[in-house]
């Protein structure tokens, strides 16, 4: 019975996606929704895109083992990322009226920086999308009672997400995200009420978690622990900012005020609703400690789905898996479109300059298919957890794209040479430290990479300039 309700939900999602495709008339409609969306839709997109499999499966499982100290990156780092976007990033980027975040780097630093940063951004999505596809496989495996294998579930989930994203682009994502946000909110609120009753009350669950030190962010204030905390916090807080999915939501709004306020509202919704799956998993550890201990040792991501199946009525199961699928699919579609648009606009377009708008739209759709196949392949061969995949995804943008973005917006002296130095210093130091890192190492590789990137920007900008913005060179040529 459960699987039929899930099938009905999936059909409704695809139908909404196909309806949205009727609003796509050009590449700007496909990639950014034509800059025409109001506050509720943009806020829903921000929330639904970020509230993915890691929020329902990954974060709660990590919290159960490590408490707040283990989830500094996400959701807390993600919350501050979206707040910073709303407070200081959204308005200046919105005024530029560009298609992608890569276009900003081209305008500010030239085509060479645009190409490098765009490739870095595209690479960073690999882990995030793969995490969603793995989660889809797990869900289909669980709800079918093993009739659908995890691999088959990943293939099926990829096909469904690809189908509606391919046709409707940003409009499909906008309308399906709004629908999926409603399912997430209603489903999780109902389940919290149900689990509270089963565990003896919400106050009992919260006080038990507090007594075990689960709400402590740091268990030690040694210098190494403080640096590790900062490294974890900045990974998502800053590394997620120079991302196409963030930029698309900013650009889809019909005004800069809506772009900024919707980002901050999405941040509040995201942090608030991330607490609900955390509550559910901790309540589960009180309701059935034996089941939780068993799956902590085997696969902690399975605790909540199995608890729902074994301990709750059919209606609760429908609400949970509806909310879970909504969370996964909304994130998967948004993160599939973002790198595809960046790859088409900022990398491939330079080799195909004669394409008209209709041909370029076809190119974007072809790239979406290629990205889907690539991330599915990565997901099938990776053995990382969902939480690890999402956290690792933003390290590369943290060390290579954050400093050029912030310096370009807020330091007038920042130069193309400075940006290239920042990228080179950040990437090289991070890669070296990542591969040579040991438990005794003082500096987290991504934090060291960020500091080297800042140094590279300052040094490259203050040195005599041998590499200049090719936009300036073109403008200086006689016409």
pLDDT in tens, 272-315: 999 999 999 999 889 888 888 888 877 777 888 888 888 888 88
- At 476, the pLDDT band (50, 70, 90 cuts) reads very low
| Residue 384: predicted pLDDT | 64
Three state DSSP letters for 333-384: HHHHHHHHHHHHHHCHHHHCCCCCHHHHHHHHHHHHHHHHHHHHHHHHHCCC
Q: Residue range 133-150: average pLDDT?
A: 87
Share of the chain above pLDDT 90, in %: 34
pLDDT in tens, 407-451: 999 999 999 999 999 999 999 999 999 888 777 778 889 999 999
- Residue in 178, 213, 334, 185 with CA at minimum distance from that of residue 272: 185
Q: Pick 298 or 368 by higher pLDDT.
A: 368
Q: Residue for token digits 């969902």? A: 386
Q: Kind and range of the H or E element at 296? A: helix 289-298
Q: How far apart are the C-alpha atoms of 72 and 233, rounded to whole Å?
A: 6
pLDDT in tens, 45-63: 888 878 877 788 888 888 9
pLDDT in tens, 304-314: 888 888 888 88
* Burial of residue 36, with CB atoms counted within 10 A of its CB: 0-12 exposed, 13-18 middle, 19 or more buried: middle
3 state DSSP class of 37 = strand
Q: Among 62-71, 403-412, 450-459, where is mean pLDDT lowest?
A: 62-71
C-beta of residue 398 within 8 angstroms of C-beta of residue 240: no
C-beta of residue 133 within 8 angstroms of C-beta of residue 332: yes
Query: Is the domain defined by 2-398 classed in CATH 1.20.1730.10?
Result: yes
Share of the chain above pLDDT 70, in %: 96
Q: Pick 141 or 22 by higher pLDDT.
A: 141
| Residue 193: predicted pLDDT | 92
Q: Pick 62 or 386 by higher pLDDT.
A: 62
Q: How far apart are the C-alpha atoms of 389 and 157, rounded to whole Å?
A: 18
- At 390, the pLDDT band (50, 70, 90 cuts) reads low
Q: Residue range 217-228: average pLDDT?
A: 84
Confidence check: pLDDT of 475 > 60: no
Q: Kind and range of the H or E element at 230? A: helix 223-239
* Burial of residue 50, with CB atoms counted within 10 A of its CB: 0-12 exposed, 13-18 middle, 19 or more buried: buried
- Residue in 167, 169, 143, 168 with CA at minimum distance from that of residue 156: 143
Q: How many CA atoms lie within 13 A of 36 on its CB side?
A: 11
Cβ-proximal residues to 109 (8 Å cutoff; 6+ apart), any chain: 404, 408, 415, 416, 419, 469
Q: How far apart are the C-alpha atoms of 133 and 128, rounded to whole Å?
A: 9
Q: Residue range 402-411: average pLDDT?
A: 95
Q: How far apart are the C-alpha atoms of 124 and 86, rounded to whole Å?
A: 22
Q: Residue range 252-261: average pLDDT?
A: 92
């Amino acid at each position: 019975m459960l699987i039929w309700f899930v099938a009905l939900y999936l059909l409704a999602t695809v139908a909404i996606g196909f309806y949205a495709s009727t609003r796509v008339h050009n590449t700007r409609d496909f990639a950014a929704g034509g800059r025409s969306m109001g506050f509720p839709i943009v806020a829903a997109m921000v929330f639904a895109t970020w509230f993915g499999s890691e929020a329902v499966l990954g974060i709660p499982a990590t919290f159960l083992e490590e408490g707040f100290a283990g989830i500094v990156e996400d959701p807390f780092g993600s919350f501050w990322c979206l707040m910073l976007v709303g407070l200081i990033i959204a308005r200046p980027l919105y005024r530029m009226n560009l298609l992608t975040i890569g276009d900003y780097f081209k305008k500010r630093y030239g085509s060479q920086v645009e190409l490098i940063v765009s490739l870095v951004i595209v690479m960073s999505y690999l882990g995030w999308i793969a995490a969603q596809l793995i989660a889809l496989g797990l869900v289909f495996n669980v709800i079918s009672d093993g009739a659908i294998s995890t691999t088959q579930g990943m293939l099926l989930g990829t096909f469904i997400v690809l189908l509606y994203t391919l046709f409707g682009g940003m409009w499909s994502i906008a309308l399906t995200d709004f629908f999926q946000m409603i399912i997430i909110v209603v489903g999780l609120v109902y389940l919290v009420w149900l689990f509270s009753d089963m565990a003896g009350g919400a106050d009992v669950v919260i006080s038990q978690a507090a007594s075990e030190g689960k709400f402590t962010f740091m268990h030690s204030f040694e210098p190494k622990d403080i640096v590790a905390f900062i490294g974890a916090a900045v990974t998502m807080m800053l590394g997620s900012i120079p991302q196409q999915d963030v930029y698309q939501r900013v650009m889809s709004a019909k005004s800069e005020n809506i772009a900024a306020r919707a980002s901050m509202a999405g941040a509040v919704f995201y942090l608030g609703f991330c607490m609900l799956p955390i509550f559910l998993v901790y309540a589960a550890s009180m309701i059935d400690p034996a089941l939780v201990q068993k799956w902590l040792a085997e696969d902690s991501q399975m605790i909540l789905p199995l608890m729902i199946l074994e301990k709750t009525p059919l209606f609760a199961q429908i609400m949970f898996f509806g909310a879970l699928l909504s969370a996964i699919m909304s994130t998967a579609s948004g993160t599939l479109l973002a790198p595809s648009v960046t790859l088409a606009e900022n990398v491939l377009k330079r080799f195909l300059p004669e394409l008209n708008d209709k041909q370029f739209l076809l190119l974007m759709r072809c790239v979406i298919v290629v990205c889907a196949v690539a991330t599915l392949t990565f997901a099938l061969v990776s053995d990382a957890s969902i939480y690890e995949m999402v956290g690792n995804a933003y390290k590369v943008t943290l060390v290579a794209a954050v400093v050029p973005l912030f310096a370009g917006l807020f330091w007038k002296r920042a130069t193309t040479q400075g940006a290239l130095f920042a990228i080179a210093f950040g990437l090289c130091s991070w890669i070296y430290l990542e591969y040579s890192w040991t438990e005794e190492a003082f500096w987290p590789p991504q934090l060291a990479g960020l500091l080297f990137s800042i140094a590279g920007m300052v040094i490259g900008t203050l040195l005599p300039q041998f590499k200049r913005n090719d936009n300036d060179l073109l403008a200086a040529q006689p016409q």
